Amino acid sequence: MIKFENVNKVWPNGKYALENINLEIKTGEFVAIVGLSGAGKTTLLKTINKFVPISSGAIQINFDNEQFDVNKIKGKELKNLRKHIGLMSQEYNNIEKQVVLKNVLNSRVSKMGFLRALIGYFNKQDKFIALQNLEKLNLLDYAYVRAENLSGGQQQRIALARTLAQEPSLIIADEPVSALDPVLANQVMQDFQRINSEDKITIIINIHHIDLALKYATRIIGLKDGKILFAGDPAELSTTRLEQIYGKEYSKN
């Protein structure tokens, strides 16, 4: 699905955010990107949808036989690429005064014509898709409850339901569980795992919790100072390699 070839990102001060990234991510993978703060995890994610343009190299993406050369596209082609990609972050980005259903429906605007979007008219199909995804995440009973009345874990599930209602080919999540307690973080990671497995949606997630990455992801990418130190099966990620990624003080236990 995604291929990085000799990708570099250099900031104006000359510092490398990403250095010589060569990586392939296949359709249907659940990839966790790990590393210290400042390792380049968020920058790597943002190059995929060109929120951060690369300095050199190439990123090739294939969605349902639509091919994109990310560094070269712009305008309508870039907008089309981004329609395939659902975004999540540690911020829930819910409108707290709106009911849960309306928060999820908001993601359908990009699929609406100008007039429908202008007046905010959602048809039966939009509502069916939104309600279907709320049911999938055990939120159907809260469809007409204002988002501000739900817990942190439920708020993140609203965000995930909204992302799914976009009908993406790829979900990119930047630290989506960092604000949650361990129980809720596990629940949200279970949701990601289930969606990846059942809906066959490729997921790439940045995460500080190495234990959750090892438990739920099908593949781990370890970054340090903008370089890939590990890319493989979670079972192959040794303590020695983790110490290289996080420092000698790291202990797997």
**Residue where one domain finishes, among candidates 165, 184, 211:** 165
Specify whether 212 is located in the same domain as 253.
yes
Could you report the per-residue pLDDT of 104-116, keeping only the tens digit for each? 998 887 765 556 6
Long-range contacts of 159-162 (CB under 8 A, 24+ apart): 159/88, 159/92, 159/93, 159/94, 160/88, 160/188, 160/191, 160/192, 160/195, 161/104, 161/130, 161/133, 161/134, 161/136, 161/137, 162/94, 162/103, 162/104, 162/106, 162/107
Domain tally, the chain: 2
First to last CA, the chain: 34
pLDDT beyond 60 at 149: yes
Specify whether 72 is located in the same domain as 105.
no
**Residue where one domain finishes, among candidates 111, 142, 165:** 165
Specify whether 138 is located in the same domain as 198.
no
pLDDT beyond 90 at 123: no
d(CA 16, CA 116): 44
* Residue 121: CB atoms within 10 Å: 11
Give the residue numbers spanning the domain of 111: 92-165
Q: For residue 202, what pLDDT is reported?
A: 96
Q: What is the pTM assigned to this prediction?
A: 0.88
Band (252; pLDDT cuts 50, 70, 90): very low
Q: For residue 117, what pLDDT is reported?
A: 55
Provide the CATH number for the domain around residue 51: 3.40.50.300
Q: For residue 114, what pLDDT is reported?
A: 55
pLDDT beyond 80 at 30: yes
Q: For residue 41, what pLDDT is reported?
A: 95
Percentage above 90 pLDDT, the chain: 70
pLDDT beyond 80 at 223: yes
Specify whether 1 is located in the same domain as 115.
no
Average pLDDT for 5-22: 95
d(CA 113, CA 111): 7
Percentage above 70 pLDDT, the chain: 94
Instruction: Tell me the longest C-alpha to C-alpha distance in the chain.
Output: 58
Specify whether 80 is located in the same domain as 172.
yes
**Residue where one domain finishes, among candidates 165, 189, 216:** 165
Q: Give the residues across from 153 on adjacent strands.
A: none
Q: For residue 251, what pLDDT is reported?
A: 54
Residues 6 or more apart whose CB falls under 8 angstroms from that of 113 comprise: none
Average pLDDT for 225-250: 89
Specify whether 184 is located in the same domain as 151.
no
Specify whether 161 is located in the same domain as 172.
no
Q: For residue 227, what pLDDT is reported?
A: 96
d(CA 228, CA 103): 37
Average pLDDT for 14-40: 95
Specify whether 102 is located in the same domain as 2.
no
- Separate counts of helices (H) and strands (E) for the chain: 9, 10
Q: Strand, coil or helix: what is 196?
A: helix
Residue owning tokens 């999938």? 136
Could you report the per-residue pLDDT of 198-214, keeping only the tens digit for each? 989 999 999 989 999 99
Beta pairing, strands 66-69 & 56-63:
antiparallel
Specify whether 147 is located in the same domain as 181.
no
Which candidate, 59, 1, 53, 11, places its Cα nearest to that of 31? 1
